[in-house]
């Protein structure tokens, strides 16, 4: 482990931007149609349940990363394999997010630019920050969360002032009943992005105040859930549910409709910058967690020697995982949720918690 400490404000900033990630700009929760906002709130409630599973594990093994307490729970060899699987999962998620970034830029502002140079530039910037350490990532997050909040406030104010918001687009409430809402909320929204915060179990040992983990994590989760729910309802109110369903990046279209006095318009850059910031930190956190996990499992002197090779691997995975954006999204909604998120973010943490509780009870009885 790197000898570094992060403050609670830095942890909140990283969690906040991590949770927003790509979900802010994609058609998130649209499976619930007009009630996407409600599905997101229910998914957030599911994410809070997952948090208490993760928090219980943290309390039993404070100061120990995920790869460490996996070996404590499952034993030296099986725990090592499970830790390795989590590292591969983190690398895959970093590659997915890098591909999301490249595809947004391609479809929005740099239509003539090849995907490869965009991904290379992004991963090089991430490699540099990660190489500097978690303290630098945390301090950078402190600065960029202020910029992100400013962009968000400005963008929302201009959308409202432009007069494009039509509340009737959100009516009628529960038009298709509860089924699409519940099937969208569980497990899709619960695991993505709220369940993905399990990656922070690799970073919590760096926190300088362990007692505040619960407060920081829940405040980041709830604030992001409310923002995502509001954004989903805003997109539907401005564009209508039919347009949101067809749109690849609905927030882009929502901001694009702003036109005040034929002077304030073409504010697409706000969304691009917002997406750039949130994805940068989300990739950085998955990347750093994978590096720390590899350093722990393979007993390396420090993680810095493997930053660039791992960055190259992430970049190649991002290029090879899909032939186009449609295939990339389909893989994300079906393969990633079903075969990666559910086992790694729901089933495995629950098994870890059950085993650790049973072991502790046997220890208490023995003593």
DSSP 115-134: HHHHHHHHHHHHHHHHHH-H
Q: pLDDT band at 364, cuts 50/70/90?
A: confident
Average pLDDT over the chain reads 92
Our count of domains for the chain comes to 1
Domain containing 111 equals: 8-358
Q: Is 222 within the bounds of a domain?
A: yes
Strands (E), 72-129: none
| Confidence (pLDDT) at 285 | 97
Q: Under a CB-based contact definition with an 8 Å cutoff, are residues 82 and 70 in contact?
A: yes
pLDDT of residue 28 exceeding 90, the answer is: no
For residues 104-127, give the mean pLDDT.
90
Q: What is the reported pTM?
A: 0.96
Q: pLDDT band at 69, cuts 50/70/90?
A: very high
Q: Is 138 within the bounds of a domain?
A: yes
Q: pLDDT band at 175, cuts 50/70/90?
A: confident
| Confidence (pLDDT) at 341 | 95
Q: What's the CA gap between 144 and 157, in Å, rounded?
A: 20
Q: Is 366 within the bounds of a domain?
A: no
Q: What digits encode the pLDDT tens for the residues 74-106?
A: 999 999 999 999 999 999 999 999 999 998 888
Paired tokens of 50? 């997952």
Strands (E), 127-263: 259-260
pLDDT of residue 365 exceeding 80, the answer is: no
Q: What's the CA gap between 342 and 348, in Å, rounded?
A: 8
Q: What digits encode the pLDDT tens for the residues 141-156?
A: 999 999 999 999 999 9
Paired tokens of 74? 């499952």
Q: Is 2 within the bounds of a domain?
A: no
For residues 63-68, give the mean pLDDT.
92
| Confidence (pLDDT) at 110 | 83
Q: Which residues pair with 264 in a beta bridge?
A: 260
Quick count: other Cβ atoms within 10 Å of Cβ 3? 7
CATH number at residue 81: 1.20.1740.10
| Confidence (pLDDT) at 63 | 85
Q: Under a CB-based contact definition with an 8 Å cutoff, are residues 47 and 195 in contact?
A: yes
Q: What digits encode the pLDDT tens for the residues 199-220?
A: 999 999 999 988 999 999 999 9
Distances (CA, A) of 348 to 96, 165, 283: 21, 43, 22
For residues 21-50, give the mean pLDDT.
93
| Confidence (pLDDT) at 367 | 62
| Confidence (pLDDT) at 142 | 95
Q: Is 141 within the bounds of a domain?
A: yes
Nearest Cα to Cα of residue 254 among 276, 275, 273, 233? 233
Q: What percent of the chain has pLDDT over 90?
A: 75
Q: Is 364 within the bounds of a domain?
A: no
Q: Under a CB-based contact definition with an 8 Å cutoff, are residues 256 and 263 in contact?
A: no
Q: Is 292 within the bounds of a domain?
A: yes
Q: Under a CB-based contact definition with an 8 Å cutoff, are residues 203 and 289 in contact?
A: yes
Q: Is 1 within the bounds of a domain?
A: no
| Confidence (pLDDT) at 330 | 85
Q: What's the CA gap between 329 and 248, in Å, rounded?
A: 10
For residues 40-67, give the mean pLDDT.
95
């Amino acid at each position: 482990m790197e000898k570094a400490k992060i403050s609670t404000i830095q942890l909140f900033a990283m969690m906040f931007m991590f949770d927003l990630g790509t979900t802010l700009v994609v058609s998130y929760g649209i499976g619930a149609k007009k009630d996407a906002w409600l599905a997101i709130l229910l998914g957030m409630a599911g994410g809070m349940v997952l948090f208490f599973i993760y928090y219980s594990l943290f309390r039993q093994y404070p100061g120990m990363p995920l790869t460490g307490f996996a070996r404590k729970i499952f034993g030296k060899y099986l725990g090592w394999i499970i830790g390795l699987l989590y590292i591969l999962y983190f690398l895959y998620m970093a590659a997915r997010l890098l591909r999301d970034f490249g595809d947004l830029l391609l479809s929005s502002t740099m239509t003539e630019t090849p995907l490869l140079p965009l991904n290379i530039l992004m991963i090089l910037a991430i490699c540099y920050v990660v190489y500097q350490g978690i303290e630098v990532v945390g301090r950078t997050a402190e600065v960029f969360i202020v910029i992100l909040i400013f962009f968000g406030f400005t963008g929302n104010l201009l959308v409202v002032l432009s007069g494009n918001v039509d509340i009737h687009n959100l009516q009628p409430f529960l038009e298709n009943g509860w089924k699409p809402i519940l099937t969208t909320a569980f497990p899709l929204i619960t695991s993505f992005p709220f369940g993905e915060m399990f990656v922070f179990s690799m970073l919590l040992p760096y926190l300088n105040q362990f007692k505040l983990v619960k407060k920081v994590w829940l405040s980041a989760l709830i604030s992001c859930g409310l923002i995502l729910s509001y954004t989903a309802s805003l997109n539907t109110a401005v564009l209508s549910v039919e347009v949101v369903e067809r749109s690849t990046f609905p927030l882009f279209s929502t901001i694009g409709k702003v036109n005040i006095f034929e002077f304030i318009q073409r504010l697409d850059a706000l969304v691009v910058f917002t997406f750039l910031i949130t994805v940068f930190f989300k990739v950085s956190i998955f990347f750093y967690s994978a590096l720390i996990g590899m350093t722990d499992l393979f007993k390396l002197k420090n993680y810095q020697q493997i930053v660039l090779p791992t960055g190259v691997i992430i970049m190649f995975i991002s290029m090879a995982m899909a032939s186009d954006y449609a295939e990339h999204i389909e893989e994300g909604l079906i393969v990633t949720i079903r075969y990666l998120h559910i086992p790694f973010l729901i089933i495995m943490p629950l098994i870890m918690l059950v085993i650790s509780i049973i072991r502790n009870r046997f220890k208490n009885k023995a003593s």
